Amino acid sequence: MVRILDKKMVELAISKIPRPQGLKRRLEQYPTPSWIVAHVVWKAFMNGDVEAKAVADLGCGDGRLLYASFLLGARLGLCVEVDEEAVKHAVSVLNSHFSEYVPRAVFIVADASQLSLFNVDTVIMNPPFGVVKENRGLDVAFLRRASQYARSVYSIHKYSPGLLKILEDLARSYNFVIGSTEILGFDIPMVFETHRSRIYRFKSLFIVLRR
């Protein structure tokens, strides 16, 4: 696949990634919509935070945010995921859909909220939202960890009143400024037995932190 310089083409390439089997609700393994992947990574690209950069995705799932970064010129990608089965699927996707980027990809099976990385320019992530009781606050924990070593962070969170204030305080404590915020409509397909609607729609907060 040739390098892409068009947001719509990124969305199209990501939309072809097959959905993994056996998604785990306790790990909040919801697939990020292709258009959101393209929108977030394109924003990072336009800010100069992707091309020729080392990019990490915390809680990477099937690797789609990382693979979109490769399409836009990332020189190195780190995929951090606690679920070994999800990592196996991400590797399979890399080999079958984005094989030319295999030498640039590193997969790490670990809890991203507890892992320190080095020489990372940019973190682009859709962390667990924390809607499962035992995961409360996990998205903020991911953001806090990313803020300890990345130069820029692009992150998606389930919107709630007061969330922006929490993230502003976190950014300030790590000497970041908030580059931008957006409310994005996030659609989750019916993937778990607890789902009662074909599509569940909610508001998500996309936030950019930069030093």
Residue-by-residue pLDDT tens, the chain, 211 positions: 556 678 999 999 999 999 877 777 666 668 899 999 999 999 999 999 999 999 999 999 999 999 999 999 999 999 999 999 999 999 999 999 999 999 999 999 999 999 999 999 999 999 987 666 777 888 999 999 999 999 999 999 999 989 999 999 999 999 999 999 999 999 876 665 565 666 778 899 999 999 9
- Give the CATH number of the domain where residue 70 resides: 3.40.50.150
Residue 66 lies in a domain: yes
Residue 175 lies in a domain: no
Residue-number span of the structural domain to which 60 is assigned: 7-158
Residue 181 lies in a domain: no
100 CB-contact burial (10 Å; exposed 0-12 / middle 13-18 / buried 19+): exposed
Residue 18 lies in a domain: yes
pLDDT attached to residue 25:
67
DSSP string, 98-165: -GGGGGGEEEEES-GGG---SS--EEEE----S-SGGGTTHHHHHHHHHHTT-SEEEEEEE--TTHHH
Alpha carbons 211 and 208: distance in angstroms, whole number: 10
Say whether 207 sits in a helix, a strand or coil.
Answer: strand
The structural domain count of the chain equals 1
Say whether 34 sits in a helix, a strand or coil.
Answer: helix
pTM: 0.92
